[in-house]
């Protein structure tokens, strides 16, 4: 079975974040780790995907991660 390249990106991102030293003290810190790794992946792999595809995928992943962690900023 072939895994879609974007799913491979997600799996790699999650594995890297899980392997970072120390434990995040807050949900925001956990999100910041995900964001940092996502930016690194985007910088190094964007040319392996159609223009904008990897960026959109990672932005969606990060938004969903914010929902899971409850770290979406309140703009009220």
The verdict on residue 75 lying in a domain is no
Residue 69: which of 24, 43, 33, 30 has the closest Cα? 30
Taking the CA atoms of 37, 42, 45 and 49 in sequence, report the sign of the dihedral they define. positive
The domain total for the chain is: 1
The verdict on residue 49 lying in a domain is yes
Which domain does 14 fall in, by range?
5-69
The verdict on residue 39 lying in a domain is yes
The verdict on residue 74 lying in a domain is no
Q: pLDDT tens digit string along 8-37?
A: 999 999 999 999 999 999 999 999 999 999
> What is the pLDDT, as a whole number, of residue 72?
85
Do 38 and 58 form a contact (C-beta atoms < 8 A)? Answer: yes
pTM over 0.75: yes
The verdict on residue 76 lying in a domain is no
């Amino acid at each position: 079975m072939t895994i879609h390249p974007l799913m491979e990106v997600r799996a790699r991102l999650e594995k890297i974040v899980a392997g970072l030293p120390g434990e995040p003290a807050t949900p925001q810190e956990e999100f910041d780790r995900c964001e940092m790794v996502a930016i690194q992946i985007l910088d190094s792999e964007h040319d392996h995907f159609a223009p904008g595809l990897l960026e959109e995928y990672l932005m969606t992943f990060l938004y969903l991660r914010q929902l899971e962690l409850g770290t979406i900023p309140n703009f009220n």
